[in-house]
Amino acid sequence: MFSHPGKVCMTYFQHFCFSMLLCSLFCKGAVFAFLHSLLPDFFITSSSDIVNNIQYLITTSGCRNK
């Protein structure tokens, strides 16, 4: 039924969990970016830290890690 998870060497459930992890990181990043806009001396590197973490997770997950 769903072909995408198999194309990235994941089961449906693995893909679901991975996508939910990314969703939580994006939400965390949005909150920190908002707080940083109000309080510039706080969460100074949080956006780039989260972007780098997400990029690492994407490039090392599923078929990409082989």
The pTM is what? 0.85
pLDDT at 15: 96
**Statement: residue 1 has pLDDT above 90:** no
Q: How confident is the model over 20-64, as pLDDT tens digits?
A: 999 999 999 999 999 999 999 999 999 999 999 999 999 999 886
Alpha-carbon separation of residue 34 from 17, 24, 55, 59, 66 (angstroms): 26, 15, 21, 27, 37
Inform me whether the pLDDT recorded for 66 exceeds 70. no
Structure tokens at 53: 């973490």
pLDDT above 90: residue 65: no
